[in-house]
Structure 1
Amino acid sequence: MKASHLSAVAVAQSRQSERRIARSALVGAGLVAIYTAMISGADGITKLIAGGYAAPQLFALSSALVILVALAEGRRRGESLRLRRGRGEMALRSLFTVLAAIGYFQAFRLLPFADVFLFIGLVPLIAAAMSGPVLDEPLRPAAWTALAFGAGGILFLLPEGRLALDPGHLWALFGTVTGTASMVLARRIARMERVPLAQVFWPNLALMLTMGLALPFVWQPMALMDLVWVAGYALLLFGARYVSAEALRLLPAYVATPLMNLQFVWMVLIGWFAFGELPGMGTVLGVAMVVGSGFWLVADEALPSRRLARA
């Protein structure tokens, strides 16, 4: 009787644990969806502002607002923004953040909204290529195949069948490479020290100072509504980064990363309703190749034999 009772308790605890894991997975998936909506909204504001103002004006103002939010949040949590280790890595991360912001600003100014996502979709693949030299994570042959397949998706964006990229595509590729380098360095810093607010604060401080140098030469008076858009951009950007951290806490990275490709759906909807842009068949095929290669990479990483090898 006693053994039977203990067995029933164990079964009940197991079911309760399974329900808790399921709830965490659902909440994590919901947070990923919120993240993709927020970051796509921020990108939409970038495209909107890019038509009337120079990049330094948008980034200097929005970075100042993000810094204020980070300082307030750090004070509320009692969390320091100082780094004990990884200062050189943080300096490089800040530099790449500035370069990525410039690249994406120019890309959104020159390209249809959904076209930029093809390059954003390459982020996980480029990160895999960078993870070997930067994070000492060797890349497997299957991963190289996935990278080549995803890179082939760019060919569907070549204008009028020419074997050359327009300036907007080159800017998007530049922004993706430098932005991915910033993300990979963020992972390296996180291994040394857990400072999530500092990871937001210092790159945005570098962006504000860099863009502030050019601000007197490009400043244009802003209407109240445009200032509201800039404030909205800053809040969406800060919120997206915070939500993504919570999502990755609840979901394994190999589950969260493919879900983030939902961003393409949001970008198509925003491009359609806000800018009257519909993606062509080439864009859809290119995105399918990039997203498919990402799932290929994830599936290979998630194989039971891979998990056993890592264990």
Structure 2
Amino acid sequence: MRVGPAGISITTFGTGLVLIYTLLITFSDAITKYLAQSYGAPQLLSIIALLIALMSLGSSRVRGEKVTLRTNFPGVMAMRAALTVVATVMFFYALATLALAQVFLFVALVPLLSALMSGPILGERVRPAAWVALGCGFLGVLCMVEIRLSTITTGHIAAFIGAVSGTGSIVLSRYIGRRENTPLAQVFYPQLAVFLSMLLLAPLGWQPMPLFDLMMAVLCAVVLFSARLLLVIALRHLTAYAVTPLMNLQFVWMVLIGLVVFNEVPQASTLIGAIIVMVSGAYLVFDQSQAETAPDHAMPVSFRKPVLARG
């Protein structure tokens, strides 16, 4: 069995990081939803992305590890950055127009999408039992949010595009993370790309921000920086299809925040679906822990040497 920091198993260590990530990312989503009601995407995203990029750069300098912002896979990093820009803009629009629980429906697509992408991109074979758990998890999500064809809006379409591009970014993060230990670089370059993209449009419709809103934007940046760094580290230790179902725990926090802050009351079917999602996510973590303890010849492709050609 592979062991992480302080003698903790790799699966336990990675799972703990993802759980903390879900708390942080949901908190940042709530702040984004609040700010999105008053400011356009270019203005808000350019401020937050710049702050995150500066925090990445500053962390590198403080630690005396300037080389941590270098990468041996510039092409893959550029693709990850481009996908991050698309996902950020799409989810911002979705958060501004949809209830938090409806946005989560598309976040919950990420485990299935990551399983589909992990094979051709990472050479990680998803075991049959894991496919069953992934399917159950998505069925649980369908129980949570009722969306009919007649009710689909541009917000739903944006959320779907965000889910696909966001999954691609996550999978490429694991691709890079399995080959080099540069978590700060993986946060810095995608956020720099978001900042530069949004900066071109930010002057159009720029609105003055009162001190409270500016402080909320700074808080959002700090939380997002911490969350993205934790996710990059977790993806070095867990397969993408095991990490992403754990991210579905965001739904629990989304429901609580939606209820307390935005007065969005969940239905009974929503709570039942949440339980199904959490159980399926827990099984996928168990499935990976079993694969860790298996002898090398019995391990799935994901725990052997990567088979994809160099990036």
Which deviates more from structure 2 when the two are superposed, residues 236-245 or residues 42-51? Answer: 236-245
Structure 1 letter corresponding to 2:106 = F
- Is the counterpart of residue 111 in structure 1 residue 105 in structure 2? no
Contact preservation (8 Å) 1:125, 1:294? no
* 2:262 paired residue number: 275
- Over aligned residues, Cα RMSD in angstroms? 3.2
Per the TM alignment, residue 54 of structure 1 is displaced from its structure 2 partner at its CA by 0.9
Of the candidates 33, 36, 54, which is equivalent to residue 22 of structure 2? 36
What does residue range 21-32 of structure 1 map to in structure 2 within 5 Å? 21=7, 32=18
Partner letter of residue 24 of structure 2? Answer: M
Residue 165 to residue 140, structure 1, CA distance change in 2 (3 Å): farther
2:259 & 2:216 partners in 1: Cα distance? 19
The correspondence of residues 6-155 of structure 1 with structure 2, limited to 5 A, is: 21=7, 32-79=18-65, 80-153=67-140, 155=142
In structure 2, the CA distance between the partners of 1:166 and 1:285, relative to structure 1 (3 Å rule), is: farther
Identity %: 45
Q: What secondary structure does 1:220 align onto?
A: coil
Question: 1:50 and 1:151 mapped to 2: Cα distance?
Answer: 28
Amino acid corresponding to residue 37 of structure 2 in structure 1: G
Paired letter, 1:76: V
Instruction: Report the Cα offset of residue 103 of structure 1.
Output: 1.5
Give the unaligned 5+ runs of structure 2.
304-311
CA distance in 1, matches of 2:22, 2:280: 19
Q: TM-score, normalised by structure 2?
A: 0.80
Cα distance in 1 for partners of 2:11, 2:133 equals 27
TM-aligned CA deviation for residue 276 of structure 1? 1.0
Q: 1:277 to 1:241 in 2, by over 3 A?
A: same
Deviation at 1:293, TM superposition (A): 3.8
Counterparts of 1:152-301 in structure 2, within 5 Å, are 152-153=139-140, 155-156=142-143, 157-159=145-147, 161-162=148-149, 165-244=152-231, 260-301=247-288
User: Paired residue for 1:307?
Assistant: 294
Per-residue deviation, residues 63-113 of structure 1 (Å, max 9, x unmatched)? 111111111111111222443421111011001101111111111112212
Structure 1, unaligned runs of 5 or more? 1-16
CA contact (8 A) 1:271 1:277 kept: yes
Give the direction of change, closer, same or farther, for the CA distance of 1:37–1:151 in structure 2 (3 Å limit). Answer: closer
Q: Which residue pairs with 1:6 in the alignment? A: none
Structure with a larger share of its residues in helix: 1
- Work out the CA distance in 2 between the residues paired with 1:68 and 1:301: 35
Mapped partners of 1:148, 1:27: distance in 2: 25
Aligned residues: 291
Q: TM (normalized to structure 1)?
A: 0.80
Letter in 1 for 2:33: K
Distance 1:195 1:174 in 2: 27
Displacement of 1:155 after TM fit?
Answer: 4.1
Q: Secondary structure at the match of 1:192?
A: coil
Q: Which moved more, 1:198-207 or 1:251-260?
A: 251-260
Is the 2:71–2:182 contact (alpha carbons within 8 Å) kept by the matching residues of 1? Answer: no
Q: Which moved more, 1:235-244 or 1:46-55?
A: 235-244
Shift in Å at residue 124 of structure 1?
2.7
